[in-house]
Structure 1
Amino acid sequence: MNQSVKWTMVLVMLIVAALLCLGLGEQWINPFAANGQDAVILWELRWPRLFIAFTVGGLLALAGAWFQVLLGNPLAEPYVLGVAGSASVGAVTALMIYPESALLMSVGAFVGAWIGISIVMAFAHLGSGRMLLAGVVLAAFWSALLALLLALLPRSELGLAFAWMMGDLSHSDLPIPLLLLTWGLALVCGFFLSRSLDALLLGERHAEALGIEVKRLRNRLLLLASAVTAIAVTAAGTIGFVGLVIPHLMRLLFGSLHRAVLPASAIGGGILLMLADSVARTIVAPSELPVGVLTAMIGVPVFLFLLLRRS
C-alpha cells in the first residue's frame, strides 16, 4: 500500500477517534454550536482530557519504540522494564518532600525513570533476555517500594498517589501546552535519530561501520526515553503496555524504518489512549475506571503472544 494512503488512513483514524471520544457514551455535543453548560463541558473538560490522553499515549509509544532499540528486545517498554514504576517512586518521593508541587514531581519522576533504566542497562552485558528479566524483577521491587511510600504518605495525598499507581488522566496538573511541546520535541528528536536507529537494529558493529558512535547514541536514547517516560508518568501515572502494543502494530502497518514507525507510533499511541480513556470514563458511568486497567487488559495478552512467538 502506498505510504500516502497509509498516512491518510492514520489521519482519518485520528479524526474519527477524537469524535468518538467526544461523544462516546454521553450526549453528543456539537463543537460549533456548544453554549452554556455544553460549552463548559466541551472546552474545559473533554478537549483538555483528550489532549492529555493523546500526548501521554504518544509519549509512551515513542518511549517503547526507543527502549526496544536501546535494549535490542521487542518486548521492552517502560512498564515491563519497571521504568514507569521507578518514575512513580520518584514522583511520590517528591510529593512527600514538597506536597502539591507539579514541577518537583516532574523532576522526581525524571530522576526515578533515569535510575530505573540505568539499573536495567547495567545488565546489558548478560544479553537482552536476562536484561528484560532484570527489568521485570525491578518492576516488582519498585512496586513494593511504592507501597511502602504510600504507607508513609499523609492521607490527604493518598488519592493522588493511588491515581498514579493505576493510571488516571483526571488528576493531571501539567499544562497542556507543556505536554504538546514535549510530544512535538520528542517526535522531532526521533526523526533526526531515525537513520541511526535503523542502523542500530542491524547490530552495533554494523552501526559503527557506518560511522555511528553507538555509545553516544545509546546515551541519547537513554536520556530521551527517560525524559518522556517521566513526563508521561507525572501527567497520568503508571499506564502500561501502550509502549509495547503500538510500536509493533505500526511496524506491521508501515515497515521497520523509524522515519515512519516513530511518527506513526506517536499518533497511534495517542489514539489508543484516547479511546481507552473514553471507555474507562463511560463504561461504568457515573463512576470511572482507571485507564491503566484497560491498557493492561489489552497489553497483557499481546505481551504473552509476543513472548510465545519469540520462543
Structure 2
Amino acid sequence: MNYAGYFHRLLLVDLASGTSKVWTPPAELWERFLGGKGAGLKILYDLGLPGDPFSPENPLIFMTGPVTGSPIPTSARSCVVFLSPLTNSAVDSHAGGHFGPALRRLGLDGLIILGRAEKPVYLEIRPDRALVHPAEALWGQGIFATERALKERHPGAEVASIGPAGERRVRFACIGTGLWRQFGRGGAGAVMGAKNLKALVVPPGNEKVPIADEQSFHALNRKLVEDLLAHPMRKKREELGTTMWIRLAQEAGFLPTRNFRECRFEGFEGITSQAMQRELSWEPRGCFNCPIRCGKRARFDGLELEGPEYETTAFLGAN
C-alpha cells in the first residue's frame, strides 16, 4: 500500500565504492514507524549496530517525516540516526532550517550513507543518485566557509557540513546546515568526519509532498495557521526566542546551575532574553514555513551570529 505523505524512496549511498541507488522500503516501515526517528531507528536496527561508532559500517540515516516540507507550519524538521560516539548507543539528532524540505523537493524521504571514502569528499544529492566530488580543498574549513563555497558552486542548494571538530572526530561534533541550524546531539559530525565526508549538497527540486485529501488538508492547515498566529506565545517566542525559558526556569526552580547541583542562579538577570536583546541587537529569523521565527540573527563585536538558544545560555551560563 502506498501511503500519502511519502515518496516511498530512500537514497542509499556507499562511500567506499562511490555508488548509490534508490531503495523502496516496505510499506510496513511507514505504517508502523511513521517516518523520522522511528523509521530511522528501525533501519539502523535492521542494518545491525556496529561495534565501533567510527567504523565504516556505522550508517548516517537522514530521515524526514510525512509532513516535512509540506504547507503545514513548523514542518522543517529532519533527523539523522546513527550509533553515537559520545554514548555508544543509538541516537537521533534533529535540525530545523531547510535541509529536510530540500530532500523532499527531490522526491526523497531520506538518505542512508554507508562506508568510508578514501579521501575527503562531498556528496551532491540527485533524485536518483549521489554524485561524489573531491573535498580536499574544503578539509580544514569551518562550516560557514564550507557552506558559502559550496553554495557558490551549487546555486540555490541546501548544504549540511562539518568543520574541523567533525574532521578530528570530536565526539560531540555537530553537523551544521543553513549556516544557523545544527544536527547537534550525539556526535553526528564526528561520524561524518570518520567517513571522510565533508558535506552534503541538496540542489533545488520541485516535487511536492503527496497529500491524500487536498481539500481537507488545506482546510485544516488554514485553521492551524490562524490559531498559531493568534496565540500570544507565538509573538513572545518571536520577540524573545528560546532564551525566554531562562526567566521561566528560574522562577519555576529548574534552571540548571552549577552542574545541576542547584536549580536557581543568582546572576540569571544577566542571561535573560531581555539582556541578550540589549547586548546582541538581534532580529528574528525562521525555519522553513514557520511563522514562529524563534531563531535569532545577532550581532556582536562586528560579527554576525546565531542565537543564543536556551540550551547554550543555560548550560554555558548558569550551569
> TM-score when scaled to structure 2?
0.25
Higher RCO (CA 8 Å, separation ≥ 6 residues) = 1
If you compute each CA radius of gyration, which structure gives the higher value, 1 or 2? 2
> TM-score when scaled to structure 1?
0.26
More helix by share: 1
More strand by share: 2
